[in-house]
Amino acid sequence: MTGMTPAIRAAKLREDFPLLSSSQEQGPLIYLDSAATTLKPRCVIDAMVRYYTEYGGSVHRGIYRIAEQATAEYENTRREVASFIGAETTDSIIFTKGTTESINLVAYAWARNTLKPGDEILITEMEHHSNIVPWQMVAKSTGALIRYLPLNSDGTLDLNRSEQYFTPHTKLVAVIHQSNVLGTVNPVKEIVKLAHDAGAVILVDGAQRVPHHSVNVTDLGADFYVFSGHKMLGPTGVGVLYGNLEILDKMEPFHGGGDMIRTVSMNASTWNALPYKFEAGTPPIAQVIGLGAAVKYLSDIGLDRIAAYETQLTAYALKTLREIPDIEIYGDARERGAVISFNAGSVHPHDLSQLLDQDGIAVRAGHHCAQPIMTRLGISATTRASFYLYNTFEEIDLLGESIRKAITFMGG
């Protein structure tokens, strides 16, 4: 790859990721599945190890030194996350197990207690299952109806007839910020306005956007914004729910137990202040601390630099793949993230993924927890390559070569 100045030095950053230097049977690991989960830099791993080995007490309850240090580090991550996404207060930042639990928290604690028969939940045809199934469960239990915004042929949302979908019956809108299949970046700020003009509450699934691009939740104006730690260099088992304070304050708790209470008697209980009302039990302390290290790592590099570099990588990957005969790429939105889903002639995505793995290339194959998209495209599965700050142009060249070899091997 020549004639292009990378926005970041991926070759240098790769030294921070132990898995990229580990011994693999197939040779060096070419990891192109960051849309599923990202690799972890050493600073994240070290931060979690330090918690376990140096101050591994519980948070919020102890008045001894290591418990107070754990609480300080835990709450510092809340401040780091609030700043990272442009939240005005840490009270709006709730730690969960991940995007899926964040969505379910809203579904159980707000939607099930608010919606009634005849109300409408508006989702889109490109949602991840995590932003479909909870609302189907809500609809079944409340009598609300589910409607969806359809996809255009280029993988963008059809907003030309918005008045047909955003109506006085619309009470909740749930939309993905960036598609994990098509890479499409949705016009969330416009959708937020449409939702609010209709009098609806809106939740945005930012799992695929927050790791790659600057997000300011205050500017977007969404009532809820959710994302996961493991897709942004952090550990598994931790995620974030950002919420509108006025709405959060009126919501009932999602789980009952320690730390979410203010008082408990044998007859009744009262709830803690925000955000602790929604953080029952011992939280994922080490994971939260690891997330804090990931946020600092990304902030030090700069999301704008990461986004610029990924734009270059994606453009080069699209060019490389389009030069291969019989490749069909899905989604052609003008604004897209570093995700490419494709099929290679008659080679099944599962077969292609296995053959690429023999060359040390890790990609995703399947429906990517987005079966409605597959139905819309008239296919059962795709191969998906997704890129992040530690990938290189040379790896994309190797991906292209390996796909060509696989097609020839399979008689394509």
Q: In the beta sheet, which residues pair with residue 94? A: 241
Rounded Cα–Cα distance for residues 113 and 91 (Å): 22
Q: Supply the pTM of this predicted model.
A: 0.96
CA dist 151 → 135, 336, 373, 376 (Å): 19, 15, 9, 8
> pLDDT tens digits for 138-157?
999 999 999 999 999 999 99
- Please name which of 166, 162, 120 lies closest in space to residue 144, comparing C-alpha atoms: 120
Cβ neighbours for 343, distance < 8 A, ≥ 6 positions apart: 327, 328, 330, 349, 379, 382, 383
Contact between 126 and 309 under an 8 Å Cβ cutoff? The reply is no
Mean pLDDT over each residue of the chain, to the nearest integer: 95
Is it the case that residue 4 has pLDDT exceeding 50? Answer: no
Class of domain 10-31+302-409: alpha beta
Which pLDDT does position 195 carry in this prediction?
Answer: 98
Which pLDDT does position 7 carry in this prediction?
Answer: 57
Which pLDDT does position 11 carry in this prediction?
Answer: 80
From 369, 393, 405, 412, the catalytic residue: 369
The Cβ of residue 147 has, within 10 Å, a number of other Cβ atoms equal to 16
The band of 5, judged by pLDDT with boundaries at 50, 70 and 90, is very low
Using DSSP's 3-state secondary structure scheme, residue 259 falls into coil
Is it the case that residue 65 has pLDDT exceeding 50? Answer: yes
The Cβ of residue 256 has, within 10 Å, a number of other Cβ atoms equal to 13
> pLDDT tens digits for 165-190?
999 999 999 999 999 999 999 999 99
Which pLDDT does position 412 carry in this prediction?
Answer: 55
Q: How many helices (H) and strands (E) does the chain have?
A: 16, 15
Residue 184 DSSP one-character state: B
* Sequence ranges of the domains in the chain: 10-31+302-409, 46-300
> pLDDT tens digits for 18-36?
999 876 676 789 999 999 9
Q: What are phi and psi of 93, to 5 degrees?
A: -105, 115
Which pLDDT does position 1 carry in this prediction?
Answer: 42
Pairing of β 93-96 and β 327-330? unpaired
Our answer to whether residue 369 is catalytic in this structure is yes
Using DSSP's 3-state secondary structure scheme, residue 51 falls into helix
Rounded Cα–Cα distance for residues 252 and 258 (Å): 15
- Please name which of 173, 137, 138 lies closest in space to residue 157, comparing C-alpha atoms: 173
CATH number of the domain located at residue range(s) 46-300 in this protein: 3.40.640.10
Mean of the pLDDT values across residues 2-21? 76
